[in-house]
Structure 1
Amino acid sequence: MCRHLAYLGPPRALAEIVTDPPHSLYEQSYAPRRGTDGVVNADGFGIGWYPPGDRAGPVRYRRAVPIWADANFPGLAHLLRSGAVLAAVRSASPGNSLEESAAAPYALGRWLFSLNGFVERWESLPGDTGESLSAADLLTMEAHTDAALLWVMVARRLTAGAPAGDALAEVARLTAAARPAARLNLLLTDGRAIAAIRRGASLHYRRTSDEVTVASEPTTDDRDWQEVPDQSLLLTTQHTAEIAPL
């Protein structure tokens, strides 16, 4: 199962967030400690970040290779800095495509999105949930994956003006009703706040005085990591955190 994280705080080198911690996302790509399915996350990875002072939106770097197989990433990770990051390593479920565009994060405007989980028979999900997707909506899918479809559903709501938490929660509830076995750990950020859903698998967060990290599993051994309860929505900024049941 995929692993992902989101960070908000003082600008840091991407390496400090993604590769350097003792149980980093990099390590979770080949040795996850709390994964429930699969052994490695070797089907690609992606990093989305907001350059300091940039108001145009996030930049993404995505590959279809394991994160450890990209010889360019370590140098980039030590050079690039950001105070807002969403990163993911991927384990593709059967029936999902394997190209670079299938790697999270997905993007629209300032939004970045990731799924840690899977949805069976996702191709027929819109009809089973009553979601009315037009041909134009479907053509915005970046890849043939459950994550890309969920992102289209979430993005429609964001574009219509729904708050981030409401958009995630509604899509999670509709999907779970139609696919009870679905695992839906969702991450969404606009570079200022993070919204996250836990439904199955694991999700944790850690806040200090000026930063917050939300991750599939803790990236350090610090004891101030808190587990998000199953079937919950987490809304957090650098300075606040709120958890509500789905």
Structure 2
Amino acid sequence: MCRHLAYLGPPVTLAELLFDPPHSLVRQSWAPRDMRGGGTINADGFGVGWYPGEGEPVRYRRAQPIWSDPTIAQLAAVTRSAAVVAAVRSATVGMAVLDGAAAPFAEGRWLFSHNGVIRGWPDAVVPLAAGLPVRDLLTLDATTDSALLWALVRHRLRAGADPVEAVGRTVTDVAAAAPGSRLNLLLTDGHRVVASVAGHALSVRETSGSVLLASEPHDDDPGWRSVPEGHLVVATAGEVRIRPLPAPVGAPSRHATVDRTKGANR
């Protein structure tokens, strides 16, 4: 499975997120601690997206291992941002390994990443894919499950859905169509992050005025906490809320909710 992260807060260098921590994303590319569902390393590409200001994000994506690309190390040392998404990829057998298959995917201000796999690909999700505009299917970044998940989320966003609904409903729809899928999604517009925990791990760490979500904690800071399975994280630099994923359409509503807010002035 892949590894990904999202950061919101005071501007930091990309190196502070990707390279400097003892269990950084770069280290997770060759020595991950939690690889569920197969795979041992994340060497099938990487990507990082960051917001230089209030405009659209900038991306750098490659189909090679992150440790083998000298440009990203140089770029990370001198690039600062208050909002970052990054990922290292372990490709599912049979799926393309090319620049366009690496997260983050993007449109406008949106950045998107997926950690996991759709079981029964592609047959299990043919009915869901059939609901997308033909042009969206013809212009996928790659013929991969992650690219299709992005198309499904993006379609909801274009139709006016709130990002929480777009992520939550996409996860429940795909989980119903393809049981056993691992669907940890991550979406941000540079101000708010929405992330799902469905089949894999996600941890969150809050500090004064910042939040970091990551597939694996990148250090031993006691501030890290695990997000429960079957939940969504909705976070800004000043607030983190955790709530259950929406119930599948037609299923009884869930009565138990988890809504955790931490910190002052929230």
Smaller-chain TM-score bracket: over 0.9
Alignment of 1:1-246 (within 5 A): 1-36=1-36, 37-51=38-52, 54-129=53-128, 132-246=131-245
In the TM superposition, residue 126 of structure 1 has moved relative to its aligned partner by 4.2
Q: Which amino acid aligns with 2:65?
A: P
Q: Helix, strand or coil: the match of 1:10?
A: strand
Higher relative contact order (CA 8 A, sep 6+): 1
CA distance 1:216–1:165, change in 2 (3 Å): same
Unaligned runs of 5+ in 2: 246-266
Inter-partner Cα distance in structure 1 for 2:130 and 2:206: 36
Decide whether aligned partners of structure 1 residues 63 and 151 sit closer, same or farther in structure 2, where only a CA change above 3 A counts: same
- 8 Å contact 2:125–2:178 — kept in the other structure? no
- What is the rounded CA distance, in whole Å, between the counterparts of 2:49 and 2:11 in structure 1? 14
CA distance in 2, matches of 1:159, 1:129: 16
Q: Encode CA deviations 1:172-216: one digit per residue, 9 max, x unaligned.
A: 000000111100111111000100000012100001111100000
Equivalent-residue separation in structure 1 for 2:205 and 2:54 (angstroms): 26
Deviation string 1:33-57 (CA, Å, 9 cap, x unpaired) is 1222311100000000001xx3321
User: Which string of whole-angstrom CA distances, capped at 9 and with x for unpartnered residues, describes residues 154-187 of structure 1?
Assistant: 0011111111111001010000001111001111
Larger radius of gyration: 2
Identical-residue share of aligned pairs (%) = 52
Contact 2:104/2:112 (CA < 8 Å) preserved in 1?
Answer: yes
Structure 1 residues 26-80: Cα deviation after superposition (integer angstroms, max 9, x where no partner): 11000111222311100000000001xx332100000010000001111110011
- Residue 131 of structure 1 and its aligned partner are, at CA, apart by 5.2
Paired residue secondary structure (1:122): coil
Aligned partner of residue 47 in structure 1, secondary structure? strand
CA gap 1:186/1:151 in 2 versus in 1, 3 angstroms: same
C-alpha displacement at 1:122, in angstroms? 3.0
Gaps of 5+ in 1: none
2:251 is matched with none
For normalisation by structure 2, the TM-score amounts to 0.89
Q: Shift of the alpha carbon at 1:146?
A: 0.2
- Alignment root-mean-square deviation, CA: 1.2
